[in-house]
Amino acid sequence: MMQAIGSRARQSMRVFLLLSLSALIVGAEDVSANLQVSGDCNDESGPHNGLWLYMGQTASGRPYYKHSEQPYYMYYDPACDGQAEGRWVMDSEAPSVTAEADLDEDTHCFYHSRYLDSSMMPSSGVWRSYCAEVGLGWVDSNVVITQVVTTTTTT
pLDDT band per the 50, 70, 90 thresholds, residue 32: confident
Q: What 3-state DSSP class applies to 1? A: coil
Phi, psi of 41 (to 5 degrees): 60, 25
Task: Give SS3 for 18.
Answer: helix
DSSP assignment string, 46-78? -TT-EEEEEEEE-TTS-EEEEESSSS-EEEEES
- Write out pLDDT tens, residues 55-113: 999 999 999 999 999 999 999 999 999 899 999 999 999 999 999 999 999 999 999 99
pLDDT tens readout for residues 130-139:
998 878 899 9
pTM of the model: 0.77
